[in-house]
Amino acid sequence: TRDGAFGLGRGAMPEEVAAWDVDVLPDGRGLPEGRGDVFTGDEVFAEKCASCHGDFAEGVDNWPVLAGGFDTLADKDPVKTVGSYWPYLSTVWDYVHRSMPFGEAQTLTADETYAIVAYILYSNDLVDDDFELSHENFAEFEMYNTDGFVIDDRPELEYSNWRTEPCMEDCKPSVEITMRATFLDVTPEGGGDSVM
């Protein structure tokens, strides 16, 4: 008998865990053995990714831009890409390997994924064209925006100020309309398309 309180479920087999537990941690744990270079990545990317993400990972139409946008995060319209924004390389490998290409996920081999990630880094000018990414050098790679994130600081910056009895009368001398949605006119006609 097992120690579990209810004795429900059954033991997960190692090959079952291996099939489903494919996440990669920021320190590289979870990566399979393998390797891929920029040149190979360019070919795989052209075949499997470029129709949406562009030949140079610059994005087609509304599809996500994967490269560029460095130092735009404080701009009026930041360009958040793998290069300019993503803090960990592990996430790139993990997400591409599990969920891309869109509509054909989980079809990339480990080596193809290493190659694609190497090509995305090259597209972001973060490596030279002879770069090869592997499970061995993966953890050494430092992303551009690794230090760009702070843990939720609403408690200090917001909650401490906004837990006060609010004004009820004469809260401001006057009020004016400063912006109107009808000026933009981007709401779907007739209240939008029914999606039932």
Partner 1 sequence: MDKNTKTSRRSFLKGSVALAGVSVAGAASAKEADPLITEVQEWASLTGAGVDETPYGLPISFEKDVVRRNVEWLTASPISSINFTPIHALDGTITPQGCAFERHHSGAIELRKEDYRLMINGLVDRPLVFNYSDLERFPRENHVYFCECAANTGMEWAGAQLNGAQFTHGMIHNMEYTGVPLRTLLNEAGLDAAGDLKNKWVYVEGADASSNGRSIPMEKALDDVLVAFKANGEALRMEHGYPVRLVVPGWEGNMWVKWLRRIEVTDMAVESREETSKYTDVYDDGTARKWTWVMDAKSVITSPSPQMPITHGQGPLVISGLAWSGHGKITRVDVSKDGGISWETARLGKQGDSKALTRFYLDTNWDGKPMLLQSRAMDETGYVQPTKNQLREVRGENAVYHNNCIQTWFVNENGVAENVEVS
Cβ proximity to partner 1, 17 vs 129, nearer residue: 17
Q: Which of 10, 15, 130, 140 binds partner 1 (CB under 8 A)?
A: 10
Q: What are phi and psi of 45, to 5 degrees?
A: -65, -45
Check binding of 70 to partner 1 (CB under 8 A).
no
Q: Which of 99, 96, 120, 95 is nearest to 41 (CA)?
A: 120
How big is the site for partner 1, counted in residues (CB under 8 A)? 84
Q: Which of 1, 11, 128, 130 binds partner 1 (CB under 8 A)?
A: 11
In whole angstroms, the minimum distance from the beta carbon of 57 to partner 1 comes to: 14
- Of 39-47, 75-83, 108-116, 117-125, the window that binds partner 1 (rule: CB under 8 A) is 75-83
Cβ proximity to partner 1, 41 vs 83, nearer residue: 83
**What residues numbered 118-157 form the site for partner 1, per CB under 8 A?**
148-154, 157
Cβ proximity to partner 1, 128 vs 179, nearer residue: 179
* Cβ within 8 Å of residue 26, ≥6 positions away: 87, 88, 90, 91
Q: Which long-range contacts (CB under 8 A, 24 or more apart) does 42-50 make?
A: 42/119, 42/122, 44/108, 44/112, 44/115, 44/116, 44/119, 45/116, 45/119, 45/120, 48/101, 48/104, 48/108, 48/116, 49/100, 49/101, 49/116
Check binding of 167 to partner 1 (CB under 8 A).
yes
**What residues numbered 17-56 form the site for partner 1, per CB under 8 A?**
17, 20-21, 23-27
